[in-house]
Amino acid sequence: MVNISEVTAAPSPDLLTPDNCAVLFIDHQPQMFFGAASGDRTAIINATVGLAKAAKAFDVPVVLSTVAAESFSGPIMPQLPEVFPDQQIIDRTTMNAWEDANFVEAVKATGRKKLVFAGLWTEICIALPALSAIAQGYEVYVVTDASGGVSPQAHEHAIQRMAQDGAVPVTWVQVLLELQRDWARSETYMPVMDVVKEHAGAYGLGVVYAQAVIGAHAAG
């Protein structure tokens, strides 16, 4: 029951903020993309880059990881190191990143309790570390449109499995706007608009249109 006297204009602690989360990019590699068939792969790439730029705009710590980069899966998609040129890429042999000590140490080093996962494939390389992180007390969010599985069923069932254990499905635009949350936050307003215009499709075109119309009226 709601105690009206205790209701205030304050955000829920469940919300993502630039100070409480880290973003984990797992196995966005050519061989993994070749097998991804749960959705449009170009859209997954776009969502992944949008998510990366969102993290960059808010200075959210990230972890970049690959599996068997030199022997099987190939290098990480080049757009990620372009956004994070100084970020170490952790290569693993384990399908479950949470069984790799270097990966877990990198996550621990962020000092964040909310982990935002994105990667390929959802049913293995995301589900396994996400469930493992939850078991050790982390709060997990899965960016569903920046992830993909080998089939629509594999992707969806993996999301259901993680959600049953407490993971929260989100989208990359949702993460971006949840981090911003107030358009009065001027220090990140323009970086957010830049990401939206470049990666958010029709929403981005709407921003372009609005800025053009407002700019024209202001000039007049």
Q: Which residues of the chain have pLDDT under 50?
A: none
Q: In what order do the strands lie in the sheet with 62-67?
A: 89-92, 62-67, 21-26, 114-119, 139-143, 168-170
Which domains does the chain carry?
21-179 (3.40.50.850), 183-219 (no CATH)
DSSP β-bridge partners for residue 148 = 120
- Catalytic positions are 125
pLDDT at 219: 60
pLDDT at residue number 209: 93
CA atoms within 13 A on the CB side of 67: 21
Each residue's pLDDT tens digit, 143-190: 999 999 999 999 999 999 999 999 999 999 999 999 999 999 999 999
